């Protein structure tokens, strides 16, 4: 489209300003990209008149929101480099002083009517809420759970769960400190405080403090709380004060449920509560690890009203240490109990699949081992297909369906077809005229004599 501005050969444009202005739509004309060129070519005015510049600026400015709206879909993925999520400067060298916990993400402001009754949440809302609870523990959120107690045994060790904790903490650039009673070889990305051998409680605590001191936020994992409490006599309160209060970090303690408390030789602890009770009392979250195969087997047994099976050492069979289905490769089942700040406990059972490299974004900086997690992996156990699906459970149940007798109660195919071929007595009577009008079918026997007179009556 080219615009013709010269209405008459003698008239300069700005003389007839008002007349032409009334006839043309300037907003449409100015929006046209070639308007300025056409205007210059038509009038020959090289410095453009001032009014047209102002008008042009006004109209294009007014158009801006519209163009921004059009670009909206290209917004980038916020989870890749969320500013609050990754601790970009997780070093306390810059700032000393008192550490304080502060909530990282402001809670969304929910405007509620004063008189509205709280409604019961529906299933989807409940799922979202439960997953969010677990997700905040897994992601080492600042205020989610200062002291998480992880109970495991040989049937399902806590390592897959701890691996997720460590990897997610590293993806957020959180310092990971492992207080080890059971390990010697460690990944270079985690800081290791060896606690076995003849180290005393004081030196262990000093080592932990050293490992924590130059970072703002850390995750401290103790790989055997029983050893920490019973063997090394580390005061739980001292440990808790150091990690949670002083350094505003999170503490995760693993307790092996199959390690029995050893009575002390002196008998001094005869009246003291066992270490596990003490820890359960203090914990803000308690997570029990179970193998998926065992959970499925227990569910199958429950549905058949059988006693729940036992596994590994609990079976009491001589020489068996670990169950063959222990540490299921498909993932880990976590029975979690969260103690909220309000005092309200919430319990749920989750399924956590093993983490893969493709679950993470590309790392942003060179000091980062992983990018942030793309999507939350943890699901409720009811959402897991192997648990929810009735057919699968039926198959599990069928495996131990066989009755324990010395007889063979099954049928071969030949026997089955033979059984189906048997014609039941009076079967054809039902097919033919039976039931028509309530008529009685009666076959005369030898001893019956037919009496016509009776029928006539």
> Which residues contact other proteins (rule: CB under 8 A)?
154, 157, 159-160, 162-163, 166-167, 170, 176, 178, 180-187, 189-190, 196-198, 223-224, 227, 231, 256, 258-260, 262-263, 265, 313, 316-327, 329, 354-360, 369-370
CB nearer to other proteins: give 5 or 196.
196
Count the residues in the chain: 457
| CB of 80 vs other proteins, minimal distance in Å | 18
Residues sharing a CB contact under 8 Å with residue 133, sequence separation 6 or more, in sequence order: 144, 336, 338, 346, 348
Torsions phi, psi of 230, nearest 5? -85, -40
Contact between residue 372 and residue 86 where contact means Cβ atoms under 8 Å apart: yes
| CB of 166 vs other proteins, minimal distance in Å | 5
**What DSSP string runs through 211-248?**
HHHT-SSEEEEES-HHIIIIIS---HHHHHIIIIIIS-
CB nearer to other proteins: give 199 or 339.
199
| CB of 265 vs other proteins, minimal distance in Å | 7
| CB of 148 vs other proteins, minimal distance in Å | 16
| CB of 352 vs other proteins, minimal distance in Å | 13
CB nearer to other proteins: give 49 or 261.
261
CB nearer to other proteins: give 15 or 182.
182
How far is the CA of 271 from the CAs of 77, 82, 263, 279, 283, in angstroms? 57, 51, 11, 16, 22
| CB of 267 vs other proteins, minimal distance in Å | 11
Residues sharing a CB contact under 8 Å with residue 267, sequence separation 6 or more, in sequence order: none
> What span, in angstroms and rounded, lies between the C-alpha atoms of 112 and 423?
72
| CB of 377 vs other proteins, minimal distance in Å | 11
Alpha carbon 388 to its chain centroid, in Å, reads: 17
Longest dimension (CA), the chain: 137
Residues sharing a CB contact under 8 Å with residue 379, sequence separation 6 or more, in sequence order: 131, 350, 351
The helix (H) or strand (E) run that includes residue 288 is: strand 285-291
Contact between residue 158 and residue 330 where contact means Cβ atoms under 8 Å apart: no
> What span, in angstroms and rounded, lies between the C-alpha atoms of 349 and 287?
9
Contact between residue 313 and residue 154 where contact means Cβ atoms under 8 Å apart: yes
CB nearer to other proteins: give 138 or 166.
166
| CB of 145 vs other proteins, minimal distance in Å | 20
CB nearer to other proteins: give 14 or 186.
186
| CB of 238 vs other proteins, minimal distance in Å | 20
CB nearer to other proteins: give 12 or 183.
183
CB nearer to other proteins: give 258 or 303.
258
For 14, which DSSP code? G
CB nearer to other proteins: give 178 or 296.
178
């Amino acid at each position: 489209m080219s615009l013709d501005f010269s209405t008459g050969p003698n008239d300069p444009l700005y003389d007839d300003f008002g007349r032409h202005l009334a006839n043309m739509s300037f907003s449409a004309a100015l929006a046209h990209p070639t308007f300025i060129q056409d205007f210059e070519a038509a009038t020959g005015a090289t410095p453009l008149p001032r009014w047209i510049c102002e008008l042009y600026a006004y109209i294009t400015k007014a158009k801006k929101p519209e163009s921004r709206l059009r670009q909206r879909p290209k917004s980038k993925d916020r989870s890749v480099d969320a500013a609050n999520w990754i601790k970009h400067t997780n070093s306390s060298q810059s700032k000393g002083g008192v550490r304080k916990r502060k909530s990282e993400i402001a809670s969304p402001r929910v405007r509620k009517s004063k008189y509205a009754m709280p409604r019961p949440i529906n299933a989807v809302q409940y799922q979202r809420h439960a997953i969010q609870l677990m997700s905040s523990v897994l992601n080492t959120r600042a205020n989610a759970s200062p002291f998480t107690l992880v109970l495991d045994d040989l049937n399902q060790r806590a390592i897959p769960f701890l691996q997720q904790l460590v990897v997610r903490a590293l993806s957020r650039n959180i310092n990971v400190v492992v207080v080890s009673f059971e390990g010697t070889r460690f990944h270079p990305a985690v800081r290791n405080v060896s606690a076995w051998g003849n180290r005393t409680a004081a030196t262990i605590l000093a080592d932990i403090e050293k490992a924590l001191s130059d970072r703002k936020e850390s995750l401290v994992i103790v790989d055997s709380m029983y050893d920490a409490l019973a063997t090394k006599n580390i005061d739980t309160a001292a440990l808790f004060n150091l990690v949670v209060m002083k350094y505003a970090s999170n503490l995760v303690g693993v307790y092996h449920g199959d390690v029995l408390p050893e009575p002390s030789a002196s008998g001094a602890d005869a009246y003291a509560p066992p270490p596990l009770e003490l820890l359960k009392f203090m914990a803000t979250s308690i997570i029990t690890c179970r193998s998926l195969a065992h959970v499925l087997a227990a569910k199958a047994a429950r549905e058949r009203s059988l006693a729940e099976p036992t596994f590994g050492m609990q079976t009491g069979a001589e020489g068996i240490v670990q169950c063959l289905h222990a540490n299921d490769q498909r993932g880990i089942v976590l029975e979690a109990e969260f103690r909220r700040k309000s005092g309200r406990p919430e319990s749920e059972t989750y399924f956590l699949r093993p983490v893969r490299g493709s679950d993470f974004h590309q790392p942003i900086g060179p000091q980062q081992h992983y990018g942030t997690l793309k999507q939350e992996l943890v699901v409720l156990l009811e959402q897991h297909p192997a648990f929810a699906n009735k057919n699968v459970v039926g198959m599990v149940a069928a495996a131990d369906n066989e009755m324990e007798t010395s007889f063979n109660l099954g049928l071969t195919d030949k026997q089955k077809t033979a059984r189906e071929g048997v014609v039941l007595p009076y079967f054809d009577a039902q097919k033919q005229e039976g039931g028509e009008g309530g008529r009685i079918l009666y076959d005369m026997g030898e001893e019956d004599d037919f009496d016509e007179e009776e029928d006539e009556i």
